[in-house]
Amino acid sequence: MKDAQVSWPLTVVALSESIDLVKNFTGDIDPRITLVRPEDVEDPGAVTCALAWRPAADAFDPYPNIMMVSSIAAGVDSIMNCPSLPSGAIVTRVRDEDQARMMGAFAAWHVVHHHRQMGDFLENQKAALWDRTFRPEMSCNMTIGLLGFGLMGQHTARAMVAMGYKVVAASRSGGTTLEGVETVSGPDAVTEVARRSDMLINLLPLTDETANVLNADLFAAMPEGAILIQLGRGEHLVEADLIAALDSGHLGGASLDVFRQEPLPADDPLWAHPKILITPHKASDTTRSEVLRQLAENYAALLADETPPGAVDRASGY
């Protein structure tokens, strides 16, 4: 045990957008855990754990003894970048196989959308137009590239392999192998995968290293007519570079689920671009029950002086 204050029962403060988790939650919760909103915390010095999602810059300031901060999602970038995050706190993220499968299915939808030109069908339906003439060759003999080969990337790769596509994935460690997936690692892995991708799916975590990785140079490396499916974080994409690559005809289309500014402002040119399909950061979600189950699991590990299973490496940022 790390500290005398760390024990069951546990009071967890739900910060910023994770407050929604406290509101109206009627599912099962470990009876040893009480979730409170910041305004209901009686003794901030006694708070050792927080739930968070996009915390405000000063969100952690009132709590000097925070030991563990749990993201309510798979991503932790907004927590890692929070200036008031205590330097010694363990940060955990959700690792949810169901959420990762959901991500794979979402990516599959976009791949089919672009491969089979579903946008044309949608347009034609508006005009009651029965047009079977413009279908290109329907072969699956194309390469799907994956940036990011963690849990999300692996489930997405499995979905692509099952659909019959060739799959090549940029893997930082190069340690994971999956049947039907070629992995590329090393310093040029991202460019190498992009160079070979008829469709490129981004599932990288956001770190200093990966910010702005989807830029003009990368698009130039992609094959003529290639498609970008952006499911990572808004800060991965240089939006003006994407618009330029689409307008020049070099890229054939894009699906965007995440944006630098969310909600995406109504007057943002991305909304109206004819080659862009937009969804509102809804690629995949975990459940409240799973967030709270993993919170209890991570806290139990902390009590046993073990590394919580959801702990992220603060040096690498994920």
Q: Applying CB under 6 A, which residues contact ligand GLV? A: 73-75
281 is catalytic: yes
Cβ closest to ligand GLV, residue 75 vs residue 148? 75
222-255 b/e (C-beta count within 10 Å ≥ 16 → b): bbeebbbbbbbbbbbbbbebbbebbeeebbbbbb
Rounded CA separation 168/185 (Å): 11
Cβ closest to ligand GLV, residue 74 vs residue 146? 74
Q: How far is the CB of 310 from ligand GLV (least distance, A)?
A: 12
Residue of 95, 101, 250, 281 marked catalytic? 281
Residue of 54, 113, 233, 236 marked catalytic? 233
Q: How far is the CB of 187 from ligand GLV (least distance, A)?
A: 26
Q: Which residues of the chain form beta strands (DSSP E)?
A: 10-14, 33-36, 49-52, 68-71, 90-92, 143-147, 166-170, 181-184, 199-202, 226-230, 251-256, 276-278
Cβ closest to ligand GLV, residue 74 vs residue 167? 74
Q: How far is the CB of 54 from ligand GLV (least distance, A)?
A: 10
Rounded CA separation 105/261 (Å): 25
CA nearest 235: which of 267, 210, 203? Answer: 210
Q: How far is the CB of 75 from ligand GLV (least distance, A)?
A: 3
Cβ closest to ligand GLV, residue 74 vs residue 200? 74
CA nearest 226: which of 214, 212, 234? Answer: 214
Where in the sequence numbering do the catalytic residues fall? Answer: 233, 281
